[in-house]
Amino acid sequence: MAYTVPKLDDYSPQALDRAAAELLRALETESAAVTNDSDWKTFRDRWMARKNGILTQLNDGWLKAAPGPQKRAVGQKVNELKARVEESVVATEKRLKGGADLSAESLDVTLPGTRRPLGAEHPITRTMNDIVRVFQHMGYSIAEGPEIETDYYNFESLNFPPNHPARDMQDTIFIAGQETKAPRDRLLLRTHTSPVQIRTMEKQKPPVRVVIPGRVYRNDAPDATHSPMFHQVEGLAVDTNITFRDLKGSLDHAMKELFGSSVKTRFRPSFFPFTEPSAEVLMSCIFCGGGGYQGTQRCPNCKTSGWIEMLGAGMVDPALYGFVGYDPQKVSGFAFGMGVDRLAAMLYGVPDLQLFFSGDVRFFEQFA
């Protein structure tokens, strides 16, 4: 039987409490029976509708009808019940919205868990680490330097005098607002990792053997084979009696370690202001074996030449030792630098360098 508000004949506190308890039991039962939105609206209106809702009936049937001396106690009780009814209506709605019908919710422990995707090294980082590791095994330690460099470290101390045309080889990105500084103190984004050669020699006495991985910047428009930000691995060895043979042997060994013992290397003359003599180092093409063709197909990696350009290198120009306080009569050394990005693109068959810097997970997932 649905609850109806009884008429009170007895306004004693005990009678009031009994009537209130009966009402609250009804409230609870009806709240529990609400299972959907339309139930809830009916429930809300039955209890709270201004016109003839149960609360209104309490007001009229209990409070207004109460004799003078009891009005106060009845008023308090009715207010209390009003608060309980409002709470119950709100709580019932919350229960529906939360869908928290716990009896229907069960835990299936046989379902597979939530797998979190594993991260992976960026292919460029991986290539860079592979190169660095080969030189570490040859006794080199790792050195790093700042990407925002001074003109002095990026150019002047590497034997590029101010206004020397050799600076044109590297399209440089300068930091704005440096005009009030002395030219050698002006800041730029380093165009190569070679400034770390100077920074290393300033910090330590010979013998030096360091391998220097890092990011470098040039003012090149991005396309399939260019990026204004790219990566290099530099090397520097300075000691007594280091000769060009050491340079050739070390780089030949490193290429064989990286690409397999059947690769050959070839050196041809080049120019860098900070090495003398300077060389470009080529490696027999790892895709066509040096023949220039894959079957009858032209090898796209070496463009049929059979050789791939891998490094710039040379004997450290003695002029550099003057900048760092080494005695050019006592020491000699070699340096080399290689680009990482194009190599990584070639190794992983990536047709466009921009993909490396796109941040597109679909691309990177292939390397995980």
Q: List contacts with ligand PHE (CB under 6 A).
A: 192, 194, 234, 272, 275, 312-314, 335-337
Q: Which is nearer to ligand PHE, 159 or 284 (CB)?
A: 159
Rounded to a whole number of angstroms, the minimum distance from the CB of residue 192 to ligand PHE is 3
- Residue 131: alpha-carbon gap to chain centroid: 23
**Residue that is written with structure tokens 């900070």 in the block:** 274
- Residue 354: alpha-carbon gap to chain centroid: 17
The helix-helix angle for 123-137 and 244-259 (nearest 10°) equals 130
Q: Which is nearer to ligand PHE, 272 or 356 (CB)?
A: 272
List Cα–Cα distances, 70 to 5, 10, 13, 80, 367, in angstroms: 19, 10, 9, 16, 83
Rounded to a whole number of angstroms, the minimum distance from the CB of residue 260 to ligand PHE is 24
Rounded to a whole number of angstroms, the minimum distance from the CB of residue 326 to ligand PHE is 17
Q: Which is nearer to ligand PHE, 66 or 158 (CB)?
A: 158
Q: Which is nearer to ligand PHE, 127 or 275 (CB)?
A: 275
Rounded to a whole number of angstroms, the minimum distance from the CB of residue 345 to ligand PHE is 18
Strands (E), the chain: 141-142, 148-150, 187-189, 208-217, 229-239, 265-272, 275-284, 293-294, 297-298, 307-316, 332-339
Q: What is the DSSP letter of 62?
A: I
Q: Which is nearer to ligand PHE, 77 or 231 (CB)?
A: 231
Q: Which is nearer to ligand PHE, 75 or 277 (CB)?
A: 277
Q: Which is nearer to ligand PHE, 44 or 192 (CB)?
A: 192
Helices (H) and strands (E) in the chain, counts: 11, 11
Can you tell me the distance from the alpha carbon of 350 to that of 98, in angstroms, rounded to the nearest whole number?
49
Rounded to a whole number of angstroms, the minimum distance from the CB of residue 134 to ligand PHE is 16
For residue 21, count other CB atoms closer than 10 A to its CB: 10
Q: Which is nearer to ligand PHE, 189 or 335 (CB)?
A: 335
Rounded to a whole number of angstroms, the minimum distance from the CB of residue 116 to ligand PHE is 40
Full 3-state SS string of 306-345? CEEEEEEEEEECHHHHHHHCCCCCCCEEEEEEEECHHHHH
Rounded to a whole number of angstroms, the minimum distance from the CB of residue 336 to ligand PHE is 5
| Phi, psi (degrees; rounded to nearest 5) at 178 | -105, 5
Q: Which residue is nearest to ligand PHE (CB)?
A: 337
Rounded to a whole number of angstroms, the minimum distance from the CB of residue 147 to ligand PHE is 14
Contact (CB, 8 A) for 235 and 335: yes
